[in-house]
Structure 1
Amino acid sequence: MRILSLQSGTSADGIDVAVAEVDALDDSDAPVVALRPLLARTVPWSAALHARLLAAVAGESMTPAEFCELDTLAGQEFAAVAARAAADLPGGVDLAVSHGQTLYHWVADGHARGTLQIGEASWIAEALDRPVLSNVRSADIAAGGEGAPLMGLFDRAWLSGAAEAEDRPIATVNLGGIANVQVVSPPSIDGAGGGLVAFDSGPANALIDAAVARATDGRESRDTDGMLASAGRVDDRVLAELLAHPYFIAAPPKSTGRETFHLGVVDAAVAAAGTHPSLPDLVATLTALTARTVADAVRSATPVVPSRVIVSGGGVHNPAMLRALTAVLALHGIAVSTSDEWGIAADDKESLLFALVGFLSWHGIPAALPGTPAGRARVLGQFTITPGTTLGRRLTGIAGLRLAGDLMKAATP
């Protein structure tokens, strides 16, 4: 089946749309699944709506009327992007999955209590005349899980065979606004079927983007090509204050977002350090924070240190961040490669994840995330059904994930 996925990450820099062919390779109740990407692109938000989304993500208060309008406008822009993508493919699509735009991820006492994504799915269903899966995190949270990160679902299916072949854990890192870490372990280390650890390690690009946007009055929204970090020097006192944040020492499973890591955290660290870093020095320091906390998370996630880390997400395009992360992980003998080297475009991996989530939910397969209590795995998301829709045959699980297509190679570096 052809599944279209839509999402806008914590950086809120555009709508990522992808279409993938996702099909079972056998008739069993737990088949191996093949995934072949057909299309992937990022479409910028309209300027006016982008400004409103950034204000909402930053915590600006809204009336019910303003929230209703924002939810509707976001849904309409998601729908327009989806319709254009589907029209570019002869035969269209069978299902859409919309993660939406996260406004808030509520964490209290170390656990997720709720999550809020906007972009009304009914507009997407109307535009495509196809069913839409949305609100994909809430069921797991209601069952006692963290609702994040979801990437472990993809990586466990994709990399379990490679981890078994190497007889060592393999880690992945997604460097979006927030960094998430997944570690897939072979059966020899984590029992029959292997194991999975997945959690948010802390900020990736979120604090850097916010610092640059504030310093440039919004003229710039990121450290393009890592030029600022490369021109600056790490302020060790500010870095020490940032590393003292309690989130970093909390045990997984855990999840976080911009509501935890915002400019107030940076300003407090600078004030406590008693320094006045320039913008390049501050960005270099925040880049070092990402590298240190991601590396610490990878190193400590499992008893056996992973053999390698596969990196994806927007941070892959920041040479300064990739250099810093590679240098810290090298101290622990951990090799670093990008997902492109393993056959998945770094910018597209998260979109392909949501296509897989759509396949799982369409077939009634519960998603067992590392933070989900035993026996409480739930089918993710809520369907907006269009006339004539019949859900797929009920499956008990999938036995693995194979990647195919012009943009994909076998999962061997």
Structure 2
Amino acid sequence: MRVLGMISGTSHDGIDVAVVDFRLEDGVLRGVIEHTGSTPYAPALRERLVRMLPPARFDMADVCALDTLIGQAFAEAAAAAVGDAGGADLVCSHGQTVFHWVDGGQVLGTLQLGQPAWIAERTGLPVVADVRTRDVAAGGQGAPLVAMMDALLLAGRPGRPAALNLGGIANLTVPLPAGALAFDTGPANALIDAAAVRATGGRLAYDEGGRLAAAGRVDETLLARLLAEPYFDLAPPKTTGKELFNAAYLDQALAAGPEPAHEDVVATVTALTARTVAAQVHRHGVDEVIAAGGGCANPALMALLRQELRGVRLSTSDALGVPADAKEAIAFAMLGWQTAHGLPTNVPSATGAAGGRILGAIVPGTGPLRLPEPLPEPLRTPPTALRLEQPVRRPAETGESEGGSPAAYPRV
């Protein structure tokens, strides 16, 4: 089955896509990555989206319009990806998270926009969407959903490896004998992007090449103030987002004391990401970190991570056949494959859900909805490992990757 996975992450910069041809052999899910790419949001759409993000308030007309506009953008990106890959059987669209309703550490609801009917209408393919809500309904955090892919990719590696994603938010997956531990460690690019916008008066939406951070010095007083955030001390399962770590959050932290130079603010929030990630890596006895996400293209962030992770091997997911800037799109392609085959995709030990659940709702395509025959009873469990063949490198000019870092940057 060839599945197109699609997502726009917490950096809200564009739509990442991946077409993967999956087959199951002796409990191992094998995939050929046939296409990856990224389509930046149109400037007007991104501006409208960012303007509506927390803590902003908006009405239902805004929600309806954004659901339609994002859905249409996803539909065009899907049609292009299917054409470039020479076809697909199914689409799995994460859409764009605009709100994660958390109260007292418990997730009560989650909202992703990008109406999947536009994708089904444009491509004629069935679409799996609304993939987080079922886990929330089962008492889970609704995130991180990449935990199963991470655990399968890391299966059989020596020591205690972990997978790290550096998107707008950083999340860590640590496979353990009792089940994978996976949670958001805190901000990755979220506050770095906010600081870059502040430093350049909006001229830059992110710290291009980590140059602003490299030009500044870490302000230890500000860093200590940021590290006092209660979220960092919460025990997993836990999840966070731009509902907490946003531009207003940074403004509040800066207002509590003398404001450092702009470049020093960028350097400090970059150090915050490295420090909070490393704290969790050391806390859980991890000896190898395999990173992915747009943050991998920020040399300043990666240098600080290496400094904080002394004694821990650090590499990117490219070593496992997974392009660092397309990993989440590949993960949602896998999620779509599992949903189509009636297999649970959440990891209860990671999200806190009452049990494994088949995720998502399915929008039929042009013709009758035809799902695969159920797997034979011995195989009616999630795969035990995932192996991906070397993907075709996407062209540098396709745009920006998750986290706002151009794909043209050399991987660190």
- Name the TM-score, length of structure 2 as normaliser: 0.90
Shift of 1:72: 0.6
- 8 Å CA contact retained: 2:194, 2:250: no
CA distance in 2, matches of 1:374, 1:381: 15
RMSD: 1.5
- SS for the counterpart of 1:161 is coil
Report the equivalent of 2:47: 51
* Cα deviation 1:209-256 (Å, max 9, x = unaligned): 112113323210011111111110100000000000000000000000
Report the equivalent of 1:176: 167
- 8 Å CA contact retained: 2:278, 2:305: yes
Moved over 6 A (4+): none
Shift of 1:265: 2.3
* Cα deviation 1:158-207 (Å, max 9, x = unaligned): 11111xxx2x210111000000011123xxxx36xxx3110000000001
**1:345 and 2:323 matched:** yes
- Choose from 326, 333, 337 the match for 1:359: 337
- Choose from 290, 309, 320 the match for 2:289: 309
Shift of 1:359: 0.9
Listed as ranges, the matches of 1:13-412 within 5 Å are: 13-26=13-26, 31-90=27-86, 92-162=87-157, 166=158, 168-185=159-176, 190=177, 195-272=179-256, 274-300=257-283, 302=284, 305-330=285-310, 333-369=311-347, 370-373=349-352, 376-386=355-365, 387-394=367-374, 395-407=380-392
CA distance in 1, matches of 2:119, 2:125: 8
- 8 Å CA contact retained: 2:17, 2:330: no
* Cα deviation 1:58-77 (Å, max 9, x = unaligned): 44322222211111111011
The residue type equivalent to 2:272 in the other structure is L
Q: Name the structure, 1 or 2, with higher relative contact order (CA <8 Å, separation 6+).
A: 2
* Cα deviation 1:110-151 (Å, max 9, x = unaligned): 121111110000000111111101111110011011111112
Report the equivalent of 1:6: 6
- 8 Å CA contact retained: 1:7, 1:99: yes
CA distance in 2, matches of 1:49, 1:375: 37
CA distance in 2, matches of 1:284, 1:215: 11
- Name the TM-score, length of structure 1 as normaliser: 0.90
- SS for the counterpart of 2:309 is helix
CA distance in 1, matches of 2:238, 2:151: 18
- 8 Å CA contact retained: 2:323, 2:391: no
- 8 Å CA contact retained: 2:22, 2:30: yes
Judging changes above 3 Å, is the alpha-carbon distance between structure 1 residues 159 and 74 closer, same or farther for their aligned structure 2 residues?
A: same
- SS for the counterpart of 2:122 is helix
- 8 Å CA contact retained: 2:116, 2:129: yes
**What is the total number of aligned residue pairs between the two structures?**
386
- 8 Å CA contact retained: 2:140, 2:354: no
Structure 2 unaligned residues grouped into runs of 5+: 375-379, 394-412
Report the equivalent of 1:411: none
* Cα deviation 1:247-280 (Å, max 9, x = unaligned): 00000000000001122322232233x2221111
- 8 Å CA contact retained: 2:138, 2:354: no
CA distance in 2, matches of 1:221, 1:154: 30
- 8 Å CA contact retained: 2:6, 2:92: yes
The residue type equivalent to 1:352 in the other structure is I
The residue type equivalent to 1:334 in the other structure is V
- 8 Å CA contact retained: 1:343, 1:407: no
Structure 1 unaligned residues grouped into runs of 5+: 409-413
- 8 Å CA contact retained: 2:28, 2:384: yes
Of all paired residues, the percent bearing the same amino acid is 47
